[in-house]
Structure 1
Amino acid sequence: MAQHDELDIQLHKQQAEEATAFLRARLPVLPEVLIQLGTGLGGLAAAMTESISIPYKDIPHFPRSTVTTHAGNLVCGKLAGKPAAVLQGRFHYYEGYSAREVGFPLRVLSLLGVRTAIITNAAGGLNPAWQAGSIMICNDHLNLLPDNPLRGPNVDEWGPRFPDFSQPYSAELRELAGQAASRLGFTEVCSGTYVCIPGPSLETPAETRMLRLLGADAVGMSSVPEVITALHGGLRVLGLSVIANLNDPDKFVPILIEDIVAAAQRAEPRLQELILDIVREL
């Protein structure tokens, strides 16, 4: 088993290096900032200038996104004057990928030299004080996936065997996000803890109560493998969750993915303004 794990990580390392070399040869300017866009949040790439778009399917060893609301493109160019990369769409554990595969784009972009990652998602609200349409600045997370992208032998040149997670989301970036929200006059911006569950089934009322008891303010099925990969690679991370709906276990109503997507799309213009302001101040 140990020999198999060693061969597996060597293949993963080779694939990451090949994907990195492919992008390095094609991008006129290497990105410094990465923004990953989640469900219903794919429009930020339109704000980029001098951009080049590369479908995931054209990048060696990139997974394929099977979710219809995820465009599946890497867009690189200038965003608010900064060299940036936008991942239009992501991969999920529930699609059948391992946590390591989910984090693969973050690994490749860290090898390209990205040092700041802004990870976004659409999430269900668990905090009863919040409203649908709010934007949550993540200050912590819970990983309830039965997997970790760092499982198996460590690649020492990528990062430490046991990375410190005492501050998974950069205090400096969280402060920048709060200042940007104030400048823009956005009042429905909050801070809290995000919990990642495997999915694809949505939460039951009992599961919602459990997640609240664990201390979670919002729940989703993504982002944490990418955050872990980014932190292992030395990036500073900002997490932003659009609270697409509220889960009240005592007045539970059906949760439809179409409603979540629509709510995320309604909040997208504000999220885009917020990200642009943050990137401008980096």
Structure 2
Amino acid sequence: MGAADIPAIVSNVQPSVVTIFTGRGGLGSGVVYSEDGLILTNEHVVRGSRDVEVGFADGQRVAATVRATDPIADLALVEAQRTGLPAAKFQPALPRIGELAVVIGSPLGFANTATAGIISGLHREIPGSASSSQSLVDLIQTDAAISPGNSGGAVVNSRGEVIGISEAYIPPQSGAVALGFAIPAATAVKVADQLREDGTADHAFIGLGLAEITQPIASELGLPDTLGALALSVQEGGPAAKAGIRAGDVLIRLDGDKLTSPEDLLAALRTRSPGQTVTVEFRRGADTQEVKVVLVARPAP
């Protein structure tokens, strides 16, 4: 299906995409999750807010309450005082690179804005993000324009199915051209269903504080390169500590898959569940060791 289908896609999906207004003048986007008023958006859109307003494509604007949030996945559920809503259709299967991607949201407050491009990449992590956020991993990349205000809105395919929730972009001043990122629909649906059920979402936890390996750190620790995830701190009594991992160890593989950065480890954990056992390979000085780690549920902050 080609560009001629985009107007129909936008027309069909726009009623399921909303604008979220916070009490401090901020705004973002959201996607209708259920016909009884639940809206899925990013946690960072509603952070610090309890009461918000939701604007719909038909011009109606209603009061809403932040029902549950999950900062780990950067997702939240907002309950709008309106029913009979057109719930979006989600497609949990990952798209293929090169597929059509249409982004719908409210960039800079321009409601019902649509941009289009393709899926540019899968399983992306934003480099250096692990030190400040655990959400910018295992993302879908698109060249369809994503701007401030798009956060929480929809990325849809040629069938009008939501394949991702707009999450972030790399600004042009960083030298980027059309680098936008979205949370995959499978992650969004899994977290949203858990938030709807009991207000919380489970995430696998290994009990490590991570750091990027810079060249000076590599030289100081006598490492052959800067690849891997440095265990900067180890939670006492946590999964990693019980397995024998210490601060200063460098994790290089998880279940046989290479870890080139802290973001790689966070992305790998995103696909695991509490209670699951993983095999971790790490360097300690000149030695390489392998241990079994039993993951647990991330403790409440």
Q: TM-score with structure 2 length normalisation?
A: 0.28
Q: Which has the larger strand fraction? A: 2
Q: Which has the higher contact order (CA 8 A, sep 6+)?
A: 1
Q: TM-score with structure 1 length normalisation?
A: 0.29
Instruction: Please tell me whether Structure 1 or Structure 2 has the larger radius of gyration of its CA atoms.
Output: 2
